[in-house]
Amino acid sequence: MTTTVTAAVARSTSAPFTVEELELDDLRPDEVRVRMVATGVCHTDAIVRDSIYPTPLPAVLGHEGAGIVEAVGAEITTVTVGDHVVLSAAYCGHCKKCRSGRMAYCENLFAEDFGGRRRDGTTSLSSDGTVVSSHFFGQSSFATYANVVESSVVKVDSDAPLETLAPLGCGLQTGAGAVLNDLRPPAGSSLVVFGTGAVGSAAIMAARVAGCTTIVAVDLHDSRLELAQEIGATHTINSRDLDVVDELHKITEGNGVDYAIDTTAVPAVLEQAAETLGIGGTLALVGAAAPGTTVNFEIGASLVKGWTFKTIIQGSSVPQLFIPRLVTLWKQGRFPLDKLIRTYDLADINTAFADSANGSVIKPVLVF
């Protein structure tokens, strides 16, 4: 028996979302039906809407869902009806990377998260008999209800507001996990973040949790830099006005930074970030660029620095382990993600995307 849901649909490349009534099909044995309370708006949704990544349109996107379990399939063992959940990226669970705890690098990532279909080729959503891509990141949370794969579901404490926790599913997990799970900077080290949107802000908060004593935020927007200082940055640089390499040279007293995180995926920014590294430094890319994007790094004089370049997705995390830890940090006031959020009604989804793109809001969250 199908259920009618209200959803924001990406119907064609770069077109505005349209809010429509769709049919949601029967719950499968390995799925969880979630009544969505809130969902974050993420840059990845925008690049899929714009067909930079290959999810078939029309599609219901959304991959930072948070809600309450309405029903569970017969094979589900991790949650029960009434549980509060945050939804994260799906993973296959059986490839070598998943088996080794590296779910973020699942060998079947594109099929699981961007394919727009279940593994059997079906979608859970339709409009008057016409299929609409579903299961985006295992969830498609731009809808009032979703049939969600079990690997996407993370149980969280019921005493924390879901509209605050929703962004943990992707963007904030990505920034915080890049620091705490992957880079693991020692106390007293230095770290610079290029781009202080949601991902960069999470990295700054995580750097403070890790004990970094020099935390530098780089951005074009003074308002974002002011907030960066409020949540943990010790220094800020407006790259529109100042030479970033020179400023970081001064801040680190000529030693260069230990860790640099780029959230922009702009090649010129990455090249600049590499220049700021000290001996043995690490540059991590967490921003998404179009496939085929390349960067030129100087490899002559920098050879003796022994520096590292790496890419990080989804904070290299196991969501079911890492997201509850972030919730605990938030409860303790050590990960103040609520300072980043502005809420919107589902009907205002296009405004939310526009505000995110122009930098006036760090993390839009749709509330149902």
Tokens standing for residue 306 = 């022994």
138 and 161 in contact (C-beta within 8 Å)?
Answer: no
Answer whether residue 82 shows pLDDT above 90. yes
Question: Given CA atoms 194, 137, 36, 351 in this order, what sign does their dihedral have?
Answer: positive
Angle between the 222-231 and 198-210 helix axes, to the nearest 10 degrees? 30
Statement to judge: residues 197 and 142 lie in one domain: no
Residue 329 placed within a domain: no
- Host domain of residue 350: 3-169+336-367
Count of other CB atoms within 10 angstroms of residue 246: 11
Q: Cα separations (Å) of 96 from 79, 314, 318?
A: 25, 17, 14
Predicted confidence band of residue 53 (pLDDT cuts 50, 70, 90)? confident
What angle, rounded to 10 degrees, do the helices at 244-251 and 267-275 form? Answer: 30
Taking a C-beta distance cutoff of 8 angstroms, is the pair 265, 287 a contact? yes
* Amino acid residing at 123: T
CA–CA dist 47, 340 (Å, integer): 21
CB 307, CB 282: distance < 8 Å: yes
- The reply to whether 330 falls in a domain is no
Q: Are residues 79 and 204 in the same domain?
A: no
In a domain, 354, yes or no: yes
Q: Tell me the per-residue pLDDT of 4-36, one tens digit each, with 9 for 90 and over.
A: 999 999 999 999 999 999 999 999 999 999 999
Same domain, yes or no: 157 and 197: no
Residues 13 and 110 in one domain: yes
> Terminus-to-terminus CA distance in the chain, angstroms?
23
Which pLDDT does position 1 carry in this prediction?
61
Exposure string over 150-165, b if 16+ CB within 10 A, otherwise e: bbbbbbbeeebebbbb
In this structure, the answer to whether residues 204 and 278 fall within a common structural domain is yes
Q: Tens of pLDDT along 149-200?
A: 999 999 999 999 999 999 999 999 999 999 999 999 999 999 999 999 999 9
The reply to whether 302 and 341 lie within a common domain is no
pLDDT for 54 = 83
**288 pLDDT higher than 90:** no
342: Cβ–Cβ under 8 A, 6 or more apart, which residues? 355, 361, 363, 364, 365
State the CATH number of the domain containing residue 212. 3.40.50.720
Is residue 324 a part of any domain in this protein?
Answer: no
Which pLDDT score is estimated for 278?
Answer: 97
Looking at the structure, tell me whether residues 146 and 78 fall in a common domain: yes
Are 202 and 298 in a shared domain? yes
Does one domain contain both 123 and 206? no
Please give the Cα distance from 359 to 45 (Å, whole number): 16
Nearest-5° Cα angle at 38, 46 to 129? 65
What is the pLDDT, as a whole number, of residue 151? 97
Query: What whole-number distance in Å separates Cα of residue 197 and Cα of residue 125?
Result: 32
Closest to 236 in 3D by CA, of 41, 151, 223: 223
**Judgement on whether residues 118 and 208 belong to the same structural domain of the protein:** no
What predicted TM-score, i.e. pTM, was given to this entire model? 0.95
Instruction: Render pLDDT for 108-128 as a digit per residue (tens, 0 to 9).
Output: 999 999 999 999 999 999 999
Give the best-scoring range by mean pLDDT among 44-48, 254-258, 288-292: 254-258
Q: Name the domain count of the chain.
A: 2
pLDDT of residue 290: 83
